[in-house]
C-alpha cells in the first residue's frame, strides 16, 4: 500500500533526524509535522489514510475493494505532496 510506503519513509526520516519515536503509523506523520517536514494541510489526510490502513490490514475481510480504489484515486495528489515535501526537507538538510 502506498500509505505504508509513506509511513516507512516517515520512520526513516524520524530515526535519521533524531525525532521522538512515534507509537503508530499515524503518529509518525504527526512527528513529521511537528518537525516541519510536512504541512498542516497534508497532516490530516495522511493520518486518516494511516488509520484506514490499519483497518485494511487487520479487518481486510470487511473492506470493500471499491472503497479502497476510490480512496486511492481521490488521494493520489496527497502522495505527490508527501513526496514533494519530503524531498524539500531532505534537500534543505544537505550541506
Residue 59 dihedral angles phi and psi, to the nearest 5°: -135, 40
pLDDT in tens, 68-79: 777 778 878 999
Dump strand ranges (E) for the chain. Answer: none
pLDDT for position 69: 79
pLDDT for 95 beyond 70: no
Q: How far apart are CA 91 and CA 8, in angstroms?
A: 19
| Domain definitions of the chain by residue range | 2-93
> Which residues are identified as catalytic?
53, 58
pLDDT for position 94: 74
pLDDT for position 3: 83
CATH code for 2-93? Answer: 1.20.120.580
Amino acid at each position: 500500500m502506498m500509505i505504508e510506503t509513506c509511513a516507512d519513509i516517515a520512520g526513516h526520516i524520524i530515526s535519521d533526524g533524531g525525532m521522538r519515536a512515534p507509537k503508530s503509523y499515524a503518529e509518525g506523520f504527526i512527528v513529521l509535522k511537528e518537525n516541519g517536514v510536512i504541512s498542516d494541510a497534508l497532516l490530516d489526510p495522511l493520518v486518516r489514510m494511516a488509520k484506514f490502513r490499519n483497518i485494511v490490514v487487520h479487518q481486510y475481510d470487511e473492506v470493500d475493494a471499491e472503497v479502497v480504489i476510490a480512496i486511492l484515486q481521490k488521494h493520489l495528489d496527497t502522495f505527490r505532496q508527501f513526496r514533494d515535501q519530503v524531498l524539500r526537507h531532505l534537500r534543505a538538510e544537505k550541506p
